[in-house]
Amino acid sequence: MLLKKLITPLFNHLTAGTNTKSLQSKIALLNSKNLNSIPDYIKESTNNYNDINTVIREYTKLATINNVDFIALKLSSLNFSSTIINQIIKTLINHNKKILIDAENVKNQPLINDITNDLINKYNKIDVQIYKTYQMYRKDQPNMLLDDIKKYPHLGIKLVRGAYYNEDKKTNLLFTSKDETDKAFSKAIDIIFDKQNKQNNKNKSFICTHNSNDIRKMIQLYTKNKDLYNHNIYHASLYGFIERDTERIIKSGIKTFKYLPYGEMEDAIPYLIRRLYENPKILYYYFK
């Protein structure tokens, strides 16, 4: 009972509800505010037939939703099955959707990188259809980002800090201080804008941050050459976060997105716990 009392208001505040009907209502609401949506089915780490079929049905529904150009995809929700993943990717692309592959924990990330690289080679030959996520709290990510920019003519970049610190902090793969992560993220923003100048507009990037310093820097770099960056640099944040900064980003001219997780409440618990860990002040609004 106590867990439900805690989870329910967070679920209502940070997700788009339990089904595609409630999701579409949130999409319409965001559109009215000049915001775009990235639907994100919230189930993770499936390994049985019924759950996988549920995930397949949800992504099949997402493919047909109007006013959405991008869909988030967790590979663990499809048990990392290449056959099923390619089936879903083809369905989404056939409905003119582009796909942002979510990063996950250290244990699963090498496999996610391998599958994502294969998808990039297969689907990003002419334009960016697949976006790879770079978690900048990892020590290896600045070099991986630079290597991939050199390797792939059409690279989709999704830049994040990372959401699995509490789970992965003992792996020795993460920076040990927030300051180091902040510096790595800021460096990655420089890389994205610099390489965009030199890549003849072939790369496309989502800068996903709630950090005011990052947002200020992104806007400053963007406004120096709006014509160059207009269709290649986007911002994304989580639904329920940074409303004031989001207004500033929209006014700057950067196309702005909100991640819209949806699904059953019990499936949302890992997502909500990660949000609580990164921003415990959320609780203040419900229990002050």
Q: How far apart are CA 25 and CA 5, in angstroms?
A: 24
Phi-psi region of 143 (alpha: psi -120 to 50; beta: other; left: phi over 0): alpha
Contact assessment for residue 134 and residue 159, using Cβ atoms and an 8 Å cutoff: yes
Neighbours of 63 (CB within 10 A): 18
Q: Which pLDDT score, from 0 to 100, does residue 282 have?
A: 54
Query: How buried is 54 (Cβ within 10 angstroms: 0-12 exposed, 13-18 middle, 19+ buried)?
Result: middle
Residue 86, SS3 per DSSP: helix
At 117, the amino acid letter reads N
Which domains, and CATH codes, for the chain? 10-287 (3.20.20.220)
- 237: phi then psi, degrees, rounded to nearest 5: -140, 170
Q: How far apart are CA 250 and CA 265, in angstroms?
A: 31
Q: Which pLDDT score, from 0 to 100, does residue 288 have?
A: 46
Using alpha carbons, select from 259, 258, 196, 198 the residue that is nearest to residue 233.
196
Sheet strands side by side (includes 204-208): 36-41, 255-262, 233-238, 204-208, 156-160, 130-135, 98-101, 70-73
Please give the radius of gyration of the chain, using alpha carbons only, rounded to the nearest integer: 18
pLDDT per residue as tens, the chain (288 positions): 555 667 888 888 899 999 999 999 999 999 999 999 999 999 988 889 999 999 999 999 999 999 999 999 999 999 999 999 999 999 999 999 999 999 999 999 999 999 999 999 999 999 999 999 999 999 999 999 999 999 999 999 999 999 899 899 999 999 999 999 999 999 999 999 998 767 666 899 999 999 999 999 999 999 998 988 888 999 999 998 898 899 999 999 999 999 999 999 989 888 888 877 666 555 544 444
Q: Which pLDDT score, from 0 to 100, does residue 46 have?
A: 85
Listed in order, strand segments (DSSP E) in the chain are: 36-41, 70-73, 98-101, 130-135, 156-160, 204-208, 233-238, 255-262
Q: Which pLDDT score, from 0 to 100, does residue 243 have?
A: 87
Neighbours of 194 (CB within 10 A): 12
End-to-end Cα, the chain, rounded Å: 19
Distances (CA, A) of 34 to 67, 250, 251, 255: 12, 7, 10, 9
Q: How far apart are CA 89 and CA 157, in angstroms?
A: 17
Q: Which pLDDT score, from 0 to 100, does residue 272 have?
A: 84
Give the H/E segment covering residue 142: helix 141-151
